Amino acid sequence: MTLRLPGPAGPILSVAVSGVISNAKYVNMADINFPGLDASPAAATSAGAAREAESVWDIIELLFFAYRDFVADADDVLAKFNFGRAHHRVLHFVNRNPGMKVAELLDILKITKQSLGRVLKQLLDEGYIVQKTGNNDRRQRLLYATPKGEALVAKLAGLQTKRINRALEDIGPAGTEAVRRFLRAMIDRDDPDKVLETIFKSPTTAKE
């Protein structure tokens, strides 16, 4: 005969029992066969792999939403200046690396000269960045943030710093270091970017 038992997650399980039980006061559960329930090591390994795969999907989605909200903090401010995220990136790296060459900025942003040219021209025209010739090579174009540019960078960084600090509050120094290691590991190590080399060699990460 067939017993119908409620499963642990709600659905009904069909249980096949061999023979007919007559005048029985109890059913020996060891004699009941639950189809689809496999306690073998292979099944356990498969379940573990499934959980690991689902965990990776969780991380992918968390990164997506974390980035969405992280950049959104600055978007509203940028929009008031008719700037976008590309303007923010250019201004950020120029401010952090005074005297940066245009070629170095192209390497960091991984965009075309044409795309950078449009953004850079607007920042130059509106006085957020200035361009100077190199002392040793007059053909070089070295970029510097103006006080106006520095003030905008500071405002945008302040918004994003609040979000970062809020997220780090409950995990402590050890957790903060784990976050730093994770983010660094996500970056291609063969990237020749000078800025990344500086980050990788910084005192806070040299002990890794």
Beta carbons of 104 and 194 less than 8 angstroms apart: yes
According to DSSP, the residues that pair with 132 across neighbouring strands are 142
In the chain, which stretches have pLDDT less than 70? 1-50, 190-208
- Secondary structure string (H, E, C) spanning 138-161: CCCEEEEECHHHHHHHHHHHHHHH
At residue 178, the pLDDT reads 92
What is the C-alpha separation between 204 and 208, in angstroms, rounded? 9
Beta carbons of 102 and 124 less than 8 angstroms apart: no
At residue 48, the pLDDT reads 63
Domains along the sequence of the chain with CATH: 50-165 (1.10.10.10)
Beta carbons of 33 and 19 less than 8 angstroms apart: no
